[in-house]
Each structure stands twice: as structure tokens, then as C-alpha cells.
Amino acid sequence: MRLLKRNIIPVVSFTFLLVGILYYLFFDYKFKGTTPLQIKVEKIKNVNYEHIIFLTTYIIPLLSFDISKPRYLVLLFLLLIIIGAIYIKTDLFYTNPTLALLGYHIYKMTGSRNIEIKKDSYENIIVITKTKISSNDEIQLSFLSDNIYFGRKI
């Protein structure tokens, strides 16, 4: 028990790592069984720079906290919760730098699909994908949130 008390931060970090891995596996499993939406890319813009903006704006300033003092550790924890809540409420969760580490790319694109005589258009949608996408590519999209999709190149 004394060993656990002395190593609480590594134990908590390892627990969160395991939870993250489980969610990643669940996410991958969930989207393998969905019926995707198929569109043709008309305009595309790579917005991977959003990860860097997230890091420089929020994470790097938090490194200046003196976590040896409990007061600052609590403040750091509260700030991380508030930042996370803001990103989730504003649908900016796709800017998470962990996605870049896992090999995902972020694109803002416009595309369309033809259904019989009608043409559906999707403008300025955010697509998170593991593959590189360019104009005129055919992709499959799975809905994540309001204007955010998980995509796979066909």
C-alpha cells in the first residue's frame, strides 16, 4: 500500500492510458460496422495545423505550473477540465494533438453525392481520417458530430 501511495501519479497515468486504449479500440470497432455515407471530394483544405495551435495555446503554458504544491496541482487539474469542456461543447475536439500522434489527418472539405436525380452537397465539413485525401477522391464518411465526420478513402 505504501508503494501505491508513493507512486500515485504513475498509477493514475497508467490507468488513463488503459482507458484511452480501450476507447480507441471501441471507436475503431464501432465504425467498422456502420453504413458510411459516400461522397466525392470537390474542395479540400488540410487543417492539421490545428494540433499545433492547441499545443501552443493551451498545453505549453500549463507546463509552467509548479505541481509540487497541491494548490497549483488542483488549479492545473481544474484548468484542464475547463479547457476540455470548452473544446467538447464547441465541437473542437478534433484538434486534439493525440489524434496527430495516432496518425490521423484533419481536413475541411466540400463534397457531394448523387442520389438518383438529386445532388446532396456537404459544405465545409470536418473530416478526420488516417489516409491522405485530395480533390476528386471518393470517400466514405461516418457521422461523429454536427459537422464532423470520420472518413475513409475508397
Query: What are the pLDDT digits (tens) for 108-154?
Result: 999 988 666 667 788 999 999 999 999 999 998 888 888 889 888 88
Q: Is 69 exposed, middle or buried (0-12, 13-18, 19+ CB in 10 A)?
A: exposed
Residue 98: is its pLDDT beyond 90?
no
Averaged pLDDT of the chain: 82
- Contacts (Cβ under 8 Å, ≥6 apart) of 86: 92
Pick the more confident residue, 70 or 50. 70
Give the model's pLDDT for residue 1.
67
pTM of the model: 0.69
Task: Give the amino acid at 116.
Answer: E
